[in-house]
């Protein structure tokens, strides 16, 4: 049996053999704790029939753990220098395909359609590069990919923001955007000591379970997300102030105020106190109002 990639010793050997140096710009931090990797994979509930999408495999530590369970693994690695390393470290796993591409530019529907069988159970299991965590997650959610669950390691603070409940400091437009598409929960936190090089922040494992349909009905998704963002533009300001500014060309402050009151939402509340349901009724109300006026 070959040794796990993720041990500190084996990681060091691989990096030295290839003279690999970490690129700060790519947010490269490699995990050197096989137990944590196993727990990440466990959180995705994979079976022998599952397919896995990975983003930023590094030298293949997490890829290897997914490959031990899953039927096939598709990994996107942006750093050309890692491709020969991955070819070697993942040689025992012929069912792993490495694509040297920026996942943000990839046509994921096409890649999934070509690599996995139709209707296959697909999970995203990845240790995301910190500097592009949010854009990657939003792409995975917004493109409505045939993915059952997304289990990712990311900055603890970002994980908390995504899984936050109304009324908490972390709750914001990102929480609402993610929770519109998926149920979010932080599975466990990860100390910075299990990485090479050590990042400056602690990490967490976030599990996003895809919803079959959104928790609220909105008449216009784009407008809904815009309104949510506008409501949080200045967190300390009231809903009335933020929304009046957002609608300044179409509606006066008095109209915005009476609209809020008609929906039983106190204009003096702050955005962080509103549930996704309240935001949906706000968006639907204003959307209808603007469309009847135009």
Can you give the pLDDT at residue 148? 98
Measure the CA–CA gap between 225 and 142, rounded to whole angstroms. Answer: 12
Spell out, as residue ranges, where the chain has pLDDT lower than 70.
1-2, 24-27, 293-294
The four Cα atoms 145, 25, 79, 95 give a dihedral, to 10 degrees, of -40
DSSP character for 168? S
Q: Looking at residue 54, what DSSP letter applies?
A: E
Domain-embedded: residue 86? yes
Contact 202, 213 (CB under 8 A): no
**3-state DSSP call for residue 130?**
helix
The rounded distance, in Å, linking the Cα atoms of 75 and 60 is: 9
Domain boundary residue among 159, 191, 210?
A: 210
**Domain presence at residue 139:** yes
**Rounded distance between C-alpha atoms, residue 182 and residue 178, angstroms:** 6
Domain that holds residue 277: 221-293
**Was 200 annotated as part of a binding site?**
no
- Pair 197, 238 in one domain: no
Q: Would you say 242 is a known binding-site residue?
A: no
**Residue 103 confidence (pLDDT):** 96
Same structural domain for residues 54 and 148?
A: yes
Q: Which two tokens stand for residue 168?
A: 């908490």
Domain boundary among the residues 210, 229, 260 is at: 210
Residue pLDDT, tens place only, 97-115 = 999 999 999 999 999 999 9
Q: Do 194 and 112 share a domain, yes or no?
A: yes
- Annotated binding residue 287: no
Residues 270 and 226 in one domain: yes
CB-based burial label for 110 (10 Å; 0-12, 13-18, 19+): exposed
Task: Judge if 114 and 236 occupy the same domain.
Answer: no
What CATH number did the domain enclosing 242 receive? 1.10.8.100
Instruction: Decide if 80 is inside a domain.
Output: yes
List of residues 6+ apart from 162 with CB closer than 8 A: 137, 174, 175, 178, 179, 184, 206, 208
In this structure, the answer to whether residues 54 and 150 fall within a common structural domain is: yes
77 carries a ligand binding annotation: yes
In a domain, 3, yes or no: no
State whether 228 and 108 are in the same domain. Answer: no
Of the residues 210, 236, 258, the one at which a domain ends: 210
What is the C-alpha to C-alpha distance for residues 106 and 110, in angstroms, rounded to an integer?
9
In this structure, the answer to whether residues 264 and 144 fall within a common structural domain is: no
Whether residue 240 is annotated as binding a ligand: the answer is: no
Identify the helix (H) or strand (E) that includes residue 282.
Answer: helix 276-293
Residue 57, domain CATH: 3.40.50.150
Residues 137 and 81 in one domain: yes
Domain-embedded: residue 1? no
Assess whether 57 and 172 both reside in one domain. Answer: yes
Task: For residues 141 and 225, state if they share a domain.
Answer: no
Q: What is the largest CA-CA distance in the chain?
A: 72
Q: Is 183 annotated as a binding residue?
A: no
* Short-list 15, 38, 32, CA closest to 196: 32
**Structurally, how many domains does the chain consist of?**
2
Confirm whether 75 is domain-assigned: yes
- Give tens-digit pLDDT for 8-50: 899 999 999 988 887 766 667 888 899 999 999 999 999 999 9
Instruction: Please check whether residues 15 and 138 belong to one and the same domain.
Output: yes
The candidate with the shortest Cα–Cα distance to 203, out of 7, 30, 20, is: 30
Give a yes or no: residue 49 inside a domain. yes
Q: Do the domain assignments include residue 16?
A: yes
Q: The whole model's pTM is what? A: 0.93
Rg of the Cα atoms in the chain = 22
Tokens of 74: 């598709």
């Amino acid at each position: 049996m070959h040794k796990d990639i993720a041990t500190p010793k084996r990681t060091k050997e691989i990096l030295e053999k290839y003279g690999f140096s970490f690129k700060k710009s790519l947010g490269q931090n490699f995990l050197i704790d096989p137990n944590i990797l196993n727990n990440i994979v466990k959180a995705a509930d994979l079976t022998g029939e599952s397919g896995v999408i990975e983003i930023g495999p590094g030298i293949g530590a997490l890829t290897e753990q997914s490959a031990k369970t899953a039927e096939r693994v598709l990994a996107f690695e942006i750093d050309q220098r890692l491709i020969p390393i991955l070819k070697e470290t993942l040689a025992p796993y012929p069912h792993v395909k490495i694509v040297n591409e920026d996942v943000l530019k990839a046509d994921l529907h096409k890649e999934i359609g070509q690599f996995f069988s139709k209707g296959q159970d697909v999970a995203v299991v990845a240790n995301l590069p910190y500097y592009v965590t949010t854009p990657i997650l939003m792409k995975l959610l917004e493109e409505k990919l045939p993915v059952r669950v997304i289990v990712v390691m990311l900055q603890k603070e970002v994980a908390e923001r995504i899984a936050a409940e109304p009324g908490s400091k972390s709750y914001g437009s990102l929480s609402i955007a993610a929770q519109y598409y998926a149920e979010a929960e932080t599975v466990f936190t990860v100390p910075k000591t299990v990485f090479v090089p050590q990042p400056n922040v602690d990490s967490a494992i976030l599990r996003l379970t895809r919803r079959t349909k959104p928790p609220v009905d909105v008449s216009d998704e784009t407008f809904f997300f815009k309104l949510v963002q506008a409501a949080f533009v200045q967190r300390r300001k009231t809903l009335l102030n933020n929304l009046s500014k957002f609608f300044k060309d179409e509606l006066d402050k008095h109209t915005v105020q009476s609209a809020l009151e008609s929906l039983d939402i106190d204009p003096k509340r702050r955005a962080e106190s509103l549930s996704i349901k309240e935001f949906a009724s706000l968006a639907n109300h204003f959307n209808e109002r603007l469309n009847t006026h135009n």
